[in-house]
Amino acid sequence: MKTSQLAVCILLNVANAGEQIPEFLTLAERSEYAEIVWSGKKPTIISEKTFLTLQKKPGAIVLDTQHTVAYEQLHVNGAVNLPFGQLGRSSLARIIPNRRSTILLYVPINLRPKASDPVKSASPSWSFQLYAILRIYGYTDIYALDPKIHLPSTKILLDGVKTKKIQNQSSEP
């Protein structure tokens, strides 16, 4: 089977599995994306403690891919915002010029304001998608924060408009 035929087969299998391939990828990048997803490669899921340790590593980048308005509301302190729809080789190279940099990902939707909230789990496809895109562009040291964190008790510093509200909730009995 020719490489192009194999790529089409992989793309079809990924699409059949319900995985959406980002539209901004070129055809060659879509093929590579599909191969990464199909292979089952994924980012290393890390604990809050490990996230805090890696965050202090020189050159480490916390990447936030939520829309700018949501980012302004609540994000990890020091996170670099690059909305998902703007991901691309040049935009990533601008904010993460060293492809060997440690990249820390987190799922903003799982930053819950109350410890009593039911555990929300992010779609696994989000971190796989982002991981695959970063791998296509040559980044390899990628970690994803375990999405089950509770804001009032987290030691991860947060920033944004909603931060005060969360801090007030954590001081309530």
Per-residue model confidence as pLDDT tens digits over 131-145: 889 999 999 999 998
The predicted-structure confidence for 15-59, as pLDDT tens digits, reads as follows 433 445 677 787 788 888 878 877 777 888 899 999 999 999 999
Calpha distance 19→125 (Å, rounded): 7
- pTM across the whole model: 0.75
Maximal CA-CA distance, the chain: 65
Q: Is pLDDT at 92 greater than 90 in this prediction? A: yes
User: Which residues are CB-contacts of 150 (< 8 A; sequence separation ≥ 6)?
Assistant: 112, 114, 115, 117
CATH classification code of 46-171:
3.40.250.10
Residues 153, 167 contacting (CB under 8 angstroms): no
Residues 101, 63 contacting (CB under 8 angstroms): no
- Domain spans in the chain, listed from the N-terminal domain onward: 1-40, 46-171
Calpha distance 129→84 (Å, rounded): 10
Calpha distance 15→123 (Å, rounded): 16
Residues 34, 12 contacting (CB under 8 angstroms): no
What tokens appear for 114 in the block? 């109350």
- Find, among 146, 144, 168, the residue nearest to 64 by Cα: 144
Calpha distance 27→123 (Å, rounded): 25
